[in-house]
Structure 1
Amino acid sequence: MSTVTQTTLLIIFSVEFATGILGNTFMALVNIMDWVKKGKISAVDQIVTALAISRFAFLLLLLIIFLISDLYPALTTTEKMIRITNASWILTNHFSIWLATCLSIFYFLKIANFSSSLILYLKWRVKTVVLVTLSVSLIILFVNVVVINTHIGVWIGQCKSNTSHSSIASNVAQLSKLVFLTNTMFTLIPFTVSLIIFILLIFSLWRHLKNIQNYSKCSKDISITAHIKTLETVVAFLLLYTVFFVALAFQSWKSKTHHRNPSNLILLDAGLVFPSGHSCVLILGNSKLRQAFLSMMLWMRCRLKDAEVLDFLEHIRDCLPYSRG
């Protein structure tokens, strides 16, 4: 890989990482401060806060794995490190994805316009639905960890039977592909749920547009706006999720596992779009977070202007002795 290409991909990685860390930290801090101030926190803010914390942990873990692979490559092939990194990645990625899925479910049940008794039943118990979804996801997490650990156990047995360097390198590549393939299959479950929610939201909007003829224009505008805003959030989530899913799937087909490989860096950058970009979508789509962000930007702008004025005054003060002379 040329130095220019590698540097460009690493810069993209750094920007995505910084955006994700700052964005998710901002969301968590705003909601926690609001919780402390008011003494209570809404259900949607609980989900967003938990999601932000899980994304922060996920991004930090990716950086640690990246640095270890770069500085101590031999360490990444040890049994202990493989088990730790895989378990940590599965855990943080699981909550990052499933909490985002729960957020989509929450929004859907809040604005869905269906006469079905089942949907109405779920709408009245939206918190219970989210809790049940998370509980089921924990079962899926347990199965995912067991399957991955089984693959690692088989890999260890193969390494012990053949200790040559070429054989170990080949086994590491095979294990990596198998792990990515397994994680891709488990990631497909929440992706399918999110896709179903998107289709149901479109159908709900279509039904609403069909039934609004006898309502006032104000009521129509309010309901349609709510549908469209939710659809925009879910569409952005699905697009970013699709990029992440495709990047994960391609990782399971690749034979080269070194993170400095050009295709691996491209896939890494593509995968980071989801946890980093989705935080920006959530900030812009949430009125409280958006207002807090705009207030922070205004405060920073004022501070910068004050700093510029102080620098100008100090410059004038420094020039005065020379003027007198």
Structure 2
Amino acid sequence: MRAVLHSILTIIFTLEFFIGNLGNGFIALVQCMELRKRRKFPSADHFLTALAISRFALIWVLFLDSFVFIQSPLLMTRNTLRLIQTAWNISNHCSIWFATSLSIFYLFKIAIFSNYLFLYLKQTVKRVVLVTLLLSMLLLFLNIFLEIKHIDVWIYETKRNITNGLNSNSFSEFSRLISIPSLMFTLVPFGVSLIAFLLLIFSLTKHVRKMQYYTKGCKDVRTMAHTTALQTVVAFLLLYATFFLSLVVEVSTLEMDESLMFLFAKVTIMIFPSIHSCIFILKHNKLRQDLLSVLKWLQYWCKRVKTLDS
């Protein structure tokens, strides 16, 4: 039974890997072609392109991380650990914070508030997002510094106390030790996105009440913009919550040495960078149209191949 479950989880993980590569690769390719054609496109598309590239990198880091820790634990040397953890921190940080930047961008572009500070930030939304990303780099550097320090200390203690290889219990404690700071740092962008979500809801409620005096239940453009932005942010928050809980499960299973639960955690972690990008494609009008064009071209190409074969 365990072997069957392990095979199923491996297949799901592989499917998520390919879906994530195709989805994020498609977004990055389309956006880069659009930039080359138009030389300029909306700021939100810049963040979306950066998000797709970071998600593409994150998926490969997750794949290599799973291969090293599950298939080839003997490869866990000091340099390998430092390289994997640094790559994981950078790709995960960029993935989360670029998605958070989109939430901030949607908030200031769509929400309606008469507050002077909000109006000022609304006029300088690009600068606000860039400053947010720059400040988030401090968290990234701090996280990398702490994890590299833990790795060096653990390697030193292992070489001093163990002469015949790595001790699994000490490695479980080490993994939990370096994972806890990462979990704490991932809560910050979640809180920022949650605040943006609540402010969007408040703005939508206020706008709907105001429009009731002018229209009879008709949805205007701003209401639809609020709804679309809320759907995008809600999808991000739900998948982000799943991602965070999966990290918690992964940390807890390290101590139990339960490979099946560890693989399940990896499968659920992979959902975030893979499925979230597919949601962006479905919600983005230009990306959705390009996807339909590609599917129609593939359908035409398959029919032509069948005709030539017959």
Q: With structure 1 as the length reference, what TM-score do the two structures score?
A: 0.90
Residues 133-161 of structure 1 show CA distances to partners (whole Å, capped at 9, x for unaligned) of 10011111111111112222221232133
Residues 217-272 of structure 1 show CA distances to partners (whole Å, capped at 9, x for unaligned) of 698421211111111111111110100011112222233486x8110111101101
Tell me, yes or no, if the aligned pair for 1:177 and 1:251 is still in contact at 8 Å. Answer: no
Query: RMSD across aligned C-alpha pairs, in angstroms?
Result: 1.8
* 2:79 match: 80
Unmatched 5+ stretches in structure 2:
none
Q: How many residues align?
A: 310
Tell which deviates more after alignment, 23-32 or 161-170: 161-170
Q: Is residue 2:224 matched to residue 1:203? A: no
Q: Is residue 2:258 matched to residue 1:267? A: no
Aligned residue type for 1:61: V
1:304 partner SS: helix
1:149 partner SS: helix
Q: Is residue 2:18 matched to residue 1:6? A: no
Q: 1:178 to 1:119 in 2, by over 3 A?
A: same
2:254 partner SS: coil
Tell which deviates more after alignment, 212-221 or 10-19: 212-221
* 2:299 match: 301
Seq. identity, % = 44
Q: Separation in 1 of the partners of 2:68 and 2:264?
A: 19
Q: Separation in 1 of the partners of 2:235 and 2:167?
A: 41
Q: 1:248 to 1:86 in 2, by over 3 A?
A: same
Q: Separation in 2 of the partners of 1:65 and 1:273?
A: 16
* 1:248 match: 247
Q: Which has the higher contact order (CA 8 A, sep 6+)?
A: 2
Q: 1:63 to 1:213 in 2, by over 3 A?
A: same
Structure 1 residue 68: deviation in Å?
3.1
* 1:321 match: none
Aligned residue type for 2:301: R
Tell me, yes or no, if the aligned pair for 2:66 and 2:266 is still in contact at 8 Å. Answer: no
Q: Separation in 1 of the partners of 2:226 and 2:111?
A: 8
Q: Is residue 2:287 matched to residue 1:283? A: no
Residues 63-122 of structure 1 show CA distances to partners (whole Å, capped at 9, x for unaligned) of 22223335532111x111111111111011100110010011111111001111111111
* 1:122 match: 121
User: Aligned ranges for residues 214-233 of structure 1 at < 5 Å?
Assistant: 214-216=213-215, 220-233=219-232
* 1:104 match: 103
Tell me, yes or no, if the aligned pair for 2:239 and 2:271 is still in contact at 8 Å. Answer: yes
Q: 1:193 to 1:128 in 2, by over 3 A?
A: same
Unmatched 5+ stretches in structure 1:
313-325
User: Aligned ranges for residues 132-171 of structure 1 at < 5 Å?
Assistant: 132-165=131-164, 168-171=167-170
Tell me, yes or no, if the aligned pair for 1:9 and 1:269 is still in contact at 8 Å. Answer: yes
Bigger Rg over Cα: 1
Tell me, yes or no, if the aligned pair for 1:177 and 1:254 is still in contact at 8 Å. Answer: no
Structure 1 residue 165: deviation in Å?
4.7
Tell which deviates more after alignment, 168-177 or 104-113: 168-177
